[in-house]
Amino acid sequence: MCDVAADGTGAQREGGGLPALAAWLLVAIAAVGLLASTPTSAGPDEPAHEATAWYLSGSVEAGPAGWFFVPASLAVAPCFAHQTTATADCMPPPSAGQALVSISMVTNYQPPYYWVVGAGERLAALVGNEYADIGGRLASIALNMGALLLLSLYMRRRNRWCGTFLLLVSTPMAVFLGMVVNPSGWETTCAIAMAVTLAEAAWSRGPDQSKGWPRTETLVLVLACIGLSTARPLGFFWAAGLTVSAIVLAPTMQRRTLARVSAAVAPGILLGALWFITHPSFTSATTPPSPVTIPNLIESFVVSLLYFPEFLREMFGVLGWLDTPMPALLLFFNFAAWAVLLTRLPSIGKAAILCGVLGIVILPSAIEAVSWAALGHWWQGRYTLPFALGFVLLLLLKSGRLVPRIVSIVAGISVLSLGVMVWVNAVRYGFGLDSYGLPASLGTPGIGPVRLGISAALGLLLVLVGGYLLLRDLRTLLDARSRVKSG
């Protein structure tokens, strides 16, 4: 896949994108910047996920019936949630004590991710209970960044553009979710890995492609699919959708290759489906606004479709408890850049477009409508990230090298966006944000001067690198067009 495009034509441009390890390092820098600027419990539903990890990773001290004890740092209510002018100052000082938590707080998700996070919490708690939440986050960031590092090492000699593609799909929301304790981040990481290995396994064109079972890419595909399908209850939906999309995007596929790919993804999808059937996670949380009827379900589906622009905005970056948005101008540039890129990608058939529309637009609204009676309108853009980013990565792997300058420009905007959002996140929790997105106060930063300084420095580094990449590639594009006109 390094020298031959997925549609069987030779790559039309020589060279390659940003080196895989350099791209990974930029993503890791963004994750560290967000870690420094994000206070305890600032991830979406983070206290519940932290408590779940502690509960599932080992023995717990029982309290009254239906309650158990966790380190106090794992159960701190986020006083700043949905209060954009509130800073991290409103949080209580770190406590070495314990907190009593209801068993109802434990989420009914698959346990693998929580085992890893819980191990980090318990190791940190050996030093002091006040560090348990930090241990959980460090375990989460190590898991996600470690998987992306292994993927970059695996792909760096197979596809010279994999580093640039990694930057493209590393939206601020995706990086943020991988840094806090939330299985949505691990689900997105596994979807990215599965998209890459699906392309390797399904689109290989060597004469011995059906020999040597199991091949390396097949083993990696098995692991990536299991990881995606067991990250969250809906993970197996996204794994199945990415598999179908890869098959549809393949120009040709021998029966033995199709059988090999199907056999590789089957264990993960079956495991995820079995958990979904035996552990229903959608419980009644709100009173249905009206009787459950076919017209009401249709109305809910239509309303969800109308909210798609908001879901798309959340995919790029509405961090925290959906209260730390990407600046409007930067969001516009991201939308515009992606629109240009996706319309310029060649060799995208109608069947592939249908897969994307179904997985990114139709299926999420259908899922929300089915669960409307129990949860109301509950869908968020982060729930769609695994399939959306995985599908886009499949499109890039198939034909992205045919428009390398556009790909590189969008990658520069992506790095720039990561740097800006590290700054925005630091200002949000250090000084609060007013209705114009500006600092609400200019006193002592709520996250402390050291964390603010780290965030500012790493954000500046990302902005400078992103700006350099963007200006370099824009200049190259303009020079090329000038030569064409003069010729």
For the chain, the farthest-separated pair of C-alpha atoms sits apart, in whole angstroms, at 82
Which pLDDT score, from 0 to 100, does residue 437 have? 87
Q: What is the number of domains present in the chain? A: 1
Mean pLDDT of 411-418: 96
Q: What's residue 474's pLDDT?
A: 81
Residue 479 has pLDDT above 80, yes or no: no
Q: What is the mean predicted confidence (pLDDT) over 372-381?
A: 83
Residue 467 contacts residue 396 (beta carbons within 8 Å): no
In a domain? residue 365: yes
- Of 134, 143, 76, 141, whose CA–CA distance to 105 is shortest? 76
Residue 257 located in a structural domain: yes
Is pLDDT at 361 greater than 50 in this prediction? yes
Query: Angle CA(304)–CA(225)–CA(270) in degrees, nearest 5?
Result: 80
Rounded CA separation 100/362 (Å): 41
CA 356 to chain centre: 17
**Residue-range definition of the domain harbouring residue 418:** 20-486
| Mean pLDDT on 433-447 | 91
Within a domain: residue 360? yes
**Sheet (strand 61-62) strand order:** 61-62, 67-71, 98-102
6 vs 71 pLDDT, higher one = 71
Whether the Cβ atoms of residue 253 and residue 213 lie closer than 8 Å to each other: no
- Compute the mean pLDDT over every residue in the chain, rounded to the nearest whole number: 89
* 453, HSE (Cβ side, Cα atoms, 13 Å): 4
> Which residue would you say has higher pLDDT here, 477 or 110?
110
**CA proximity to 4, closest of 209, 260, 195:** 209
* Amino acid 9: pLDDT: 36
Lowest mean pLDDT among 199-213, 271-285, 299-313: 199-213
In a domain, 235, yes or no: yes
**pLDDT of 282 strictly over 60:** no
How far from 359 is each of 235, 275, 384, CA to CA, in Å? 12, 21, 8
Q: CB-hemisphere CA count at 13 Å for 293?
A: 5
Does the pLDDT value for residue 6 go beyond 80?
A: no
* Tens digit of each residue's pLDDT (9 = 90 or more) over 50-60: 999 999 999 99
Determine, yes or no, domain membership for 10: no
Residue pair 426/459 in contact by the 8 Å Cβ criterion: yes
Amino acid found at 87 = T
Residue 418 has pLDDT above 80, yes or no: yes
Tell me the mean pLDDT in the region 390-398: 93
Q: pLDDT of 83-142, one tens digit each?
A: 999 999 999 999 999 999 999 999 999 999 999 999 999 999 999 999 999 999 999 999
Residue 360 has pLDDT above 90, yes or no: yes
Q: What distances in angstroms separate CA 257 from CA 33, 222, 386, one per listed residue?
A: 42, 14, 25
What is the pLDDT, as a whole number, of residue 485? 64
How far apart, in whole angstroms, are the C-alpha atoms of residue 371 and residue 297? 9
Helix, strand, coil tally for the chain in percent (to 5): 65, 5, 30
Q: DSSP readout, 338-395?
A: HHHHHHH-----HHHHHHHHIIIIIHHHHHHHHTHHHHSS---HHHHHHHHHHHHHHH
Cα–Cα distances in angstroms (integers) from residue 45 to residues 39, 74, 106, in the given order: 13, 11, 11
- SS3 for 320? coil
The CA–CA distances, whole Å, from 376 to 76, 218, 279, 288 equal 26, 40, 20, 7
pLDDT per position as a tens digit, 137-176: 999 999 999 999 999 998 887 888 889 999 999 999 999 9
Helices (H) and strands (E) counted in the chain, each on its own, are 19, 5
What's the Rg (C-alpha) of the chain?
Answer: 23
Q: Is the pLDDT of residue 305 over 80?
A: yes
Chain-centroid distance, C-alpha 383: 9
Higher pLDDT among residues 487 and 5, named by residue = 487
d(CA 264, CA 267): 7
Predicted confidence band of residue 10 (pLDDT cuts 50, 70, 90): very low
Residue 8 pLDDT > 70, yes or no? no
Residue count of the chain: 487
Residue 9 lies in a domain: no
CB atoms within 10 A of CB 469: 23
> How large a percentage of the chain has pLDDT more than 70?
90
Q: Is there a domain that residue 187 lies in? A: yes
Domain membership flag for residue 359? yes
